[in-house]
Structure 1
Amino acid sequence: MAVFTLVFLAPIAYSIYLSLFRKQLVGGNAFVGLDNYQRAFTDPQFWESVGRVGAFLVVQVPIMLGLALLVALAIDSGRLYGKSFFRISIFLPYAVPAVVAALMWGFMYGTRFGLVGNINEIFGISLPNPLSPDLVLISIGNIVTWSFVGYNMLIFYSSLRTIPTSLYEAAELDGANQWQVIRSIKIPAIRGGLVIATIFSIIGSFQLFNEPSILQSLAPNAITTYFTPNLYAYSLSFSGQQYNYSATIAIIMGLITMVIAYVVQLRGMRKEA
């Protein structure tokens, strides 16, 4: 309980405390109540960043989880040759630190010095710039998907391995084909794993920070200081010296994430019941 209070409750309480004050040129920190929250609710830059990660979540998370589920089903089918090799290979990108992954992909995206630039030079073509304002969010989604497909695949595969073989034997006696087994046995049986992976992915999407922060130096015209809520809070705190307002942004994003994750969990539990 002491450790829980120190590393979990105390930082939250201190952030709430900071969000109720405002640093002034004269008089230092002054209590302003909910003024910082009112400012956040009318801050177009904050809500633009929230909308951006919301769009990122709606598009990237289903693609990532769909690929992870497809790979898990393929490995569990018993028809994939060298499944241990594929399982390790697909999980391996998750072991790459997020900063290293963002740097690696950022240099590959480069049109003057990276893989895209080399392809343009060799074949005499002009591929779209992955770090342009129109494509940078898709490029970040590609990095996140590459990094976390293996992690979610392992969750799904572990859930699949807990299904009793008697269910497969009964399905085989009933003449069920592979698609019917997947639809009627495997997916319902791993619904809990799907809910957990979805909640983790939602939390990760709203916490998006490492990739845009690293790529910002490579694409300064595409990634602004308010590209994501976390990047916005970081810029406010460490560049703008607005610690109180930064804490307010963090508290609001924590509440938004908690509510959405709770709703997803309730819906998943109802379907499972």
Structure 2
Amino acid sequence: MTSRTARRSYGVKSAPYGFLLPAGLLFALFFALPIGYALWLSLHKIEVKGLGLGKGARSETWAGLTNYTDALGDSELLAGALRILGYGAIVVPVMLGLALLFALLLDADRVRLTPFTRLAIFLPYAIPGVVAALLWGFLYLPDVSPFFYVLDKLGLPQPDLLDGGPLYAAMSNIAIWGGTGFNMIVIYTSLRSIPAEVHEAARLDGCSQLQIALRIKIPMVAPSLVLTAFFSIIATLQVFNEPTTLKPLTNALSTTWSPLMQVYQDAFVKGDIHSAAATAVIIAVVTLVLSFGFLRAAGARNRQEDPR
């Protein structure tokens, strides 16, 4: 009887681990293992003997931190990082500002056709990024764009949106158009969870809709704003689809315009997968540091506002 009780107790204690096992295996196979392999590649290099022909002419050797020092000393990678910072300075605040504005408007009492409007704002997010970039890319071309046709008929200037400074605005527009709807849904869901009694109490105190939005709604959805900003920063640092898709349409975009584009060039054009792995690890570390720093700063600000 004692042994049976012990077996039953062991089975109950081990049951949670059995349920976690499939998720743990998937995590190890598709997340931990690729990261470990990328780290291993970044610490090695290909050594070529002679002309590189024949068996054993090319061998993989230990490189230490050589790939990392080469990547950090690459001026093109630094230039790409600066371009991404400028791109993100446009995308993140504008996208989150529009998402918050749309969410507040949809949460207002007098707004009609809320389900249709919510779906219309969210719909661009359902379009794949490559398709969206192609769509807007052709709308930016003067020869095929209906907007440039209208400007020409009106005698108005036709700006080149795929060159110089306007290029940042053109690419930012693609990201904002596609990502605003998702962030709006997150913020709007948080707004709908605010108790109705809070709104009613504010109205009884004589607050207007604008005052309710600024003093009640926005502070109460601050966690959702932090979450959407967190994901937006990560997506901005990993931008790849927009510049890669627009590259055939303009000469203003280089093959290494963003850091991820340089990783692609190193791995699949130059065939240097070890250098590409080192650059990818650097991007991942920078993303982690910036994201963690943003979360720490947001948490510290919340603690200052809430002395409890």
Question: Structure 1 residues 126 and 28 mapped into 2: Cα distance closer, same or farther (>3 Å)?
Answer: farther
Give the corresponding residue for 2:169: 138
The alpha carbon displacement at 1:55 in A equals 1.3
* Aligned amino acid, residue 44 of structure 2: F
Q: Does 1:246 align with 2:269?
A: no
Q: Secondary structure at the match of 2:81?
A: helix
Question: What corresponds to 1:18 in structure 2?
Answer: 41
Counterpart of 1:97 in structure 2 is 128
SS at the partner of 1:159?
helix
* Gap runs ≥5 in structure 2: 1-23, 50-57, 304-308
Q: Is the 8 A contact 2:152 2:158 kept in 1?
A: no
The answer to which of 31-40 and 108-117 deviates more is 108-117
Matched, 1:82 2:113: yes
The whole-number CA distance in structure 2 between the counterparts of 1:133 and 1:22 is 37
Q: How many residues align?
A: 272
The answer to whether the Cα contact below 8 Å between 2:39 and 2:278 also exists between their aligned partners in 1 is yes
1:141-195 CA distances to partner (integer Å, 9 max, x unpaired)?
0000000111110010000011111111221222222222112211111111001
The answer as to whether partners of 1:107 and 1:115 remain within 8 angstroms in 2 is: no
User: Structure 1: where are the runs of 5+ without partners?
Assistant: none
Where does residue 128 of structure 1 map in the other structure?
Answer: 159
Tell me, in whole angstroms, the C-alpha distance in 2 between the residues paired with 1:203 and 1:147. 15
Separation of aligned partners in 1, 2:147 and 2:47: 48
What is the distance in 2 between the residues matched to 1:81 and 1:107? 34
Corresponding position of 1:148:
179
Given that 2:46 and 2:59 are in contact with CA atoms closer than 8 Å, whether structure 1 keeps it comes out as yes
Q: CA–CA distance in 1 between the matches of 2:102 and 2:257?
A: 32
**Aligned-partner SS, 1:216:** helix
RMSD, matched Cα = 1.3
TM-score normalised by L of structure 1? 0.96
The share of aligned pairs that are identical, in percent, is 36
Question: How far, CA to CA, are the matches of 1:165 and 1:271 in structure 2?
Answer: 27
Displacement, 1:125? 4.0
Could you tell me which residue of structure 2 aligns to residue 205 of structure 1?
A: 236
- After TM superposition, the structure 1 = structure 2 runs for residues 1-273 of structure 1, keeping only pairs within 5 Å, are 1-26=24-49, 27-219=58-250, 221-273=251-303
Which structure is larger by alpha-carbon Rg, 1 or 2? 2
Q: Which AA in structure 2 matches 1:271?
A: R
Code of the residue aligned with 2:36 in structure 1: it is: A
8 Å CA contact 1:234–1:246 kept in 2: the answer is yes
User: Is the Cα contact below 8 Å between 1:116 and 1:127 reproduced in 2?
Assistant: no
Contact residue 99 and residue 210 of structure 1 kept, 8 A: yes
SS of 2:61 mapped into structure 1: strand
State how far apart, in whole Å, the 2-side matches of 1:161 and 1:136 are: 37
SS in 2 for 1:78: coil
Q: Provide TM-score, normalisation by structure 2.
A: 0.85
How many angstroms does 1:271 deviate by?
2.8
